[in-house]
Amino acid sequence: MPDSADLTALRDVIEGPLREIADRFSRFLADGWPHQALVIFTRECTGRPRKVTGAREITDKVTIAELEALKASVPAGHQLTTTAALGGTTRTVWAVQDPIGTLLVLVPRSSRTRFPRPAPLAEVFGIVATSIRQQVTQASPDYLAESRAASSERARTITEMAAAHETALVTILTTLRSARLDDHRARLAATDSASAALVALRSARETDLAQSEEPAHAAFGRLRREIRQMLRHHDAELEFTAPAKNGQPVPGEVAHAARAMTCAAVLAFTGQPDLTRLRIAWSSDSTALHLDVRDRESGNLDVQGLRAQLDGRAKTLGATVEIDAVPGWGSRVTIDLPFEPASGRVDETQLADLNPRELEVLRLVAQGQRNKSIAAALGITESTVKFHVAGLLKKLNVTSRGEAAALALSAGVPGTQPAVP
């Protein structure tokens, strides 16, 4: 049984931002399972399925194809020592796959080191994998911000690389097709090679984008199954209206958010004792996914409570939420989720890098509170407050508390109104 210090450290691993979970988990494992690189691989995180940390000469070269091959060789719910292609070369690795399919790969510091305590590692990783899965399933604002940033970054990189490589290959083809080249056979062979490379490049781009997207009707199909399971003991009649099958694919983070927000709305509607019929509809156009949940009941929907559940996700993705409840008539929730992020302010992008504790400290700093009062409000020491302030100043790329407060106020961080003297 792990001692309390181990459990506290494990809580810190799963509580922080998802984008940094590989770093936190690596530090947690460092003493018991010494390693030079760590990779967590999960297809559930559409924006960033690889979460890596450690030796850059390994982690920078790890590919999705390598991880898929390694995952196929490790039975679900098992852990083993094996040799596998990772980062462009064959290495000895310690691999664990939890029963749901999340893969952990450790590259030991020495290939001769035996896999220490594989069973406890699998148990600990199971907790971490469950935490990742819950963040994805619940579409928490932290997960959505991380996934949207990763998706945007990847799409931009893919587009830039594709454009550059396509230009280069077209130039090669034009040159090799020139009548001034008299080595006919060499020209044909080179032309075929360049043509194949061009097709492969375009195909790779389409494949990578497809992995980060989901057809809207498929996402709705998953939602329908979840809701039917969730309401299997409820008497309300359910009406589902799916989006068109030929609609635009939905970014992964938008699909996760849409399912989570729809489920939250459905649960709020079922809180009405006289609910007899509920309509759940999705539709889409070229720019957004539109959610519509309505009834024709008494209009006693808990509007304030539901808005509190939806607002965090909505703000993260730039969505709009409208909730109407008219006594004696009925209730309706409509949500518009844009496919592409709005041209967000720099301050919002920077704030996405702060962990929950740093956001709490920033909120109090923006109110004009000093370290002593912040420490008292949060139940921590002044030295810990100084540590958090230094960390958030670094992440926000500012040099003073005043700059940090101004940034928080302009970004609309809740509770950042200056304190009244």
Q: Tell me what the mean pLDDT of segment 377-392 comes to.
A: 86
C-alpha pair distances (Å), 264 with each of 2, 154, 226, 261, 333: 35, 30, 12, 5, 11
Distance CA 121, CA 136 (A): 22
Q: Which helix (H) or strand (E) holds 384?
A: helix 382-396
Q: What is the pLDDT of residues 29-40, one digit of tens each?
A: 999 999 999 999
Residue 97 in this model has a pLDDT that exceeds 50: yes
pLDDT digits (tens, 9 = 90+) for 5-36: 567 788 888 877 777 889 999 999 999 999 99
Bridge partners of 202? none
The closest of 285, 335, 292 to 315, measured between CA atoms, is 335
pLDDT at 168 over 80: no
- Going 155 to 160 to 166 to 172, the CA torsion angle's sign is negative
Residue 421 has pLDDT above 70, yes or no: no
User: pTM of the full predicted structure?
Assistant: 0.50
Q: What is the DSSP letter of 173?
A: H
Asked if residues 74 and 96 have their Cβ atoms less than 8 Å apart, the reply is yes
What's the Cα-to-Cα distance from 200 to each of 64, 85, 196, 205, 401, rounded to whole Å? 16, 22, 6, 9, 51
Residue 279 has what pLDDT?
95
219-259 pLDDT per residue, tens:
999 899 988 888 887 888 999 999 998 888 888 778 888 98
Quick one: pLDDT band at residue 333, thresholds 50, 70, 90?
very high
Measuring CA to CA, which residue among 82, 76, 81, 119 is closest to residue 98? 76
pLDDT tens, residue by residue, 140-155: 666 666 565 555 545 5
Neighbours of 42 (CB within 10 A): 22
